[in-house]
Amino acid sequence: MEIGPIWRAMWQSKGGYLLIGLQIAVTMAIMVNAFAIMQERASKMGRPSGIDEANTFALASVAFKPDLDYQSLIREDLEMLRNTPGVINAVVTNSFPLRQGGWSEGLHREPGVGKSVSSSAIYFVDEHGLETFGMNLVDGENFTPAQVAWDSDSDDFWPATVIITQALAEDLFPDHEGSYVGNTFWFNDDNPANIVGVVERLQAPWPTWTGVERSMLVPLIRESEFSRYVIRTEPGRRDELMPQIEEMLSASNKERIIRSVETAADARKLAYLGDSSMISILTFVIGLLTAITGLGIVGLASFSVARRKRQIGIRRALGATKTAIVRYFMIENFIVSSIGIVIGAILAVALNIFMVQAFALTPLAWYVIPIAMLILWTVGQVAVAGPARRASNVSPAIATRSS
């Protein structure tokens, strides 16, 4: 191969090659880190929330007349909702996964204030919660209607039974083997909670929280001016039932308003808006960057071909084939790209280490680097192909001209 002579020829005008190599290196550093971030965000967005997102929506009832009997209002609303054709089940609760607002509590393995050993999101529900959220109960059983308590503002009551997620159970009792059902932990200094059931998955309302998989169902209905209903419909009937149910509840009682009507899908979109936008922005950036680097290679290669027209002509006149000329430029580009890519890989790792420390990102997966290498090699070869073909078309006769 002609690597030796090509290398020596390149060394003669190293400035230009060094620049393109550096450009490829920085491009590589950006590309690798952008890929790493995109991958992190995509896997975050891919986590299931645990509820039947496609067929679930929620709305809030806000009472504005004082002295309203909240308990009867909630009972009436729930009965109406559950008897609406097309509704699988409905529940009154404080929040739902992906809503980004909710209630959390520190948990203890022993009674007393002290430092909590774990924390969990709290969903207040009745015995219909399990079906409304569409959760998979892997151990124990659902609440019985008798376990469900009502709580008005005047007494702060905590029920003694809970259903928790598998992730919370593992966090609370790391050394425990076998069933978690029957185990007890404490909420505050003196509120024991006995685990009656374990569900496979139910995310907390905050997707950014590190403990997002830790949550629990508490059999309690809180009587206050504000109640949130979560409604699960038969597949495909959500959009048709949403306005219908909103109207039905609005008409049923004029002393409250119905607001915050939103689907679980809307909540997901909003909860991951930052992540999905980040992916879009980075995709765009990588595309643009690749295009600029590609164009830069085309520009410099064209210039180099134009400058070496005479030299190419002489080589052709001395018997070099067209393929040999094309190969010359391809190899030249491959050398520059390779140098850039190797420096780029080092830069990429350094940048990643810095970003992991400064912004608590996940370190990049090793295979991102070879992927980026392949992309940049390909871009370089494609970009140089045009100018190289033009070079191979230089007539050998040019060698005979004086300049």
Which residues in this chain contact other proteins in the complex, by CB under 8 A?
Answer: 15-16, 19-20, 22-23, 26-27, 29-30, 33-34, 37, 62, 64-66, 106, 113-116, 153-157, 187-191, 224-226, 257, 259, 269-270, 273-274, 276-278, 280-282, 284-285, 288-289, 292-293, 295-296, 299-300, 303-304, 306-307, 351, 355, 358-361, 403
Cβ of residue 309: shortest distance to other proteins, in angstroms?
Answer: 12
Closer by beta carbon to other proteins, 159 or else 197: 159
Distance CA 370, CA 334 (A): 15
Residue number with CB closer to other proteins (120 or 304): 304
- Cβ closest to other proteins, residue 55 vs residue 61: 61
User: Per the structure block, which two tokens stand in for 333?
Assistant: 């580009």
Measured from the CB of residue 179, what is the shortest distance to other proteins in angstroms? Answer: 29
Which one, 33 or 233, has the nearer CB to other proteins? Answer: 33
Nearest-approach distance from CB 277 to other proteins, in angstroms: 4
Q: Whole-number minimum distance, CB 292 to other proteins, in Å?
A: 6
Q: Tell me whether residue 156 or residue 177 sits nearer to other proteins (CB atom).
A: 156
Say if residue 24 is exposed, middle or buried (CB neighbours under 10 Å; 0-12, 13-18, 19+): buried
Tell me how far, at minimum, the Cβ of 225 lies from other proteins, in Å: 7
What's the closest the beta carbon of residue 29 comes to other proteins, in angstroms?
Answer: 7
Q: Compute the least distance from the CB of residue 281 to other proteins, in Å.
A: 7
Nearer to other proteins, 62 or 314 (CB): 62
C-beta closer to other proteins: residue 72 or 260: 260
Helix axes of 368-392 and 273-307: crossing angle, nearest 10 degrees: 30
